[in-house]
Amino acid sequence: MSSLLSDLDVIDRVFEHIDRGSTDLGEDVWYEPTKNYSCPDRFQAEMKLFRHIPLPFCPSAALPKVGDYVARDAAGVPIIAIRDEDGVVRAFRNACRHRGMKIADGHGCAKALVCGYHGWAYKLDGRLDYIPDAHGFPGFEKEKHGLVPVTAAERHGLVFVTQEESVSDGPLADYPEVLKPHQELVSIREFDFEMNWKLFAEAGMEGYHIKVGHPKTFYPYGFDNLNVVEPFGPNSRVTFPFRRIEKLRDVPREERKIDGKLTYAYQIFPNLLMAKLSRHTTVQFAEPVSPSRTKYTNYYISNDPIDGDAAALAEVKKDIDYVSDTGVAEDRDITMEIQKGLASGANEHFVYGHFEAAIVHFHKVINELMPKVGWEE
């Protein structure tokens, strides 16, 4: 059970901060060595950690039907997650057992997984089902050559994969129900940015930069440096209130609703940012490629059922486009400039203060887990 505040308690704390001109404060100032954003050995150790914990991989909304699959890299390893005929999500290393070709890519739906090289076919549960001209492989034990499984867990609207022996429960140590069954997948977008994966994650974990970084987009509607910050397990939730939350002061406390009054930004360790906005939730998975390059797969999910309502869908898409094309694009540009600044050699460390408590928590968790995969400072 997560220890997160209720919506009503969050509203109360936001009002306290507005009245006092304050924000949630962390206890520590953290100095993170800049080499941890550029060192190839450190990067490889982080990817090893990714493979030894339950890693967020995709939302359940991307796999609504039997045969739906998502195939992409996770910590540098091709992985496919698929919903089998029993409705269970399974995950496999994405390689044919004949000569290793990937059997799927991207998103799709299949009755069987068929290799595009020689046509070897696998059932949805990974069993090797068909070999063309099987007589050419005398003595071959088909039952021992199914797709190689990895551990898959489906929790509260997310799919997690664990590739190697787990060193920690990771995000599953405390993961609340953020995504609801009624939410619908609206669109998917993929990005490839020249930046370290941690830099962009950090941008979504503090509101200290709102006025300067988003003067014409987020700031006119929100507050600068006013957040409720809640670490839970290795994860965190940061609340970004809108100015219109003030309208709730005249509403009896038990009748107050947060809809459209604030954004909840969840950092689900280590590579997932979920932002619940006015009409949609952005579910963003980071796939680090190198110390200075990261691919992102963004799933945009409606907050309320659409059920074929064209007008409702249009409103959700408008919300998606506004956020993606303004504040998120600004954070991207800022982060890419930070990446360039790393090359200057000006900083031996970055400093994170009391206003950046979620980032401090993030780095503490990484540093606590890295020795478990053999990393030593």
Residues 130 and 256 in one domain: no
Residues 227 and 322 in one domain: yes
Q: Which residue, of 165, 195, 221, is where some domain finishes? A: 165
Written as six digits, the tokens of 355 are 């206003």
Residues 124 and 173 in one domain: no
Q: Which residue, of 124, 139, 165, is where some domain finishes? A: 165
82: domain CATH number is: 2.102.10.10
pTM of the predicted protein model: 0.95
| Number of domains into which the chain is organized | 2
Q: Which residue, of 106, 135, 165, is where some domain finishes? A: 165
Residues 232 and 372 in one domain: yes
Residues 95 and 154 in one domain: yes
**What range does the domain containing 207 cover?**
1-53+169-377
- What is the rounded distance in angstroms from the CA atom of residue 365 to the CA atom of residue 320? 31
| HSE-CB for 249 with a 13 A CA cutoff | 11
Q: Which residues are 248's β-sheet partners?
A: none
pLDDT per residue over 153-209, tens digit each?
999 999 999 999 999 999 998 988 899 988 999 999 999 999 999 999 999 999 999
Residues 155 and 258 in one domain: no
pLDDT per residue over 124-134, tens digit each?
999 999 999 99
Which of helix, strand or coil describes residue 95? coil
As averages over each run of 10 residues, the pLDDT of the chain (377 residues) reads: 87 98 98 98 98 98 97 98 97 98 97 98 98 97 97 97 96 90 94 97 97 96 97 97 97 96 97 95 98 97 93 94 91 96 96 98 98 93
- What is the rounded distance in angstroms from the CA atom of residue 39 to the CA atom of residue 58? 28
Residues 324 and 377 in one domain: yes
Residues 270 and 363 in one domain: yes
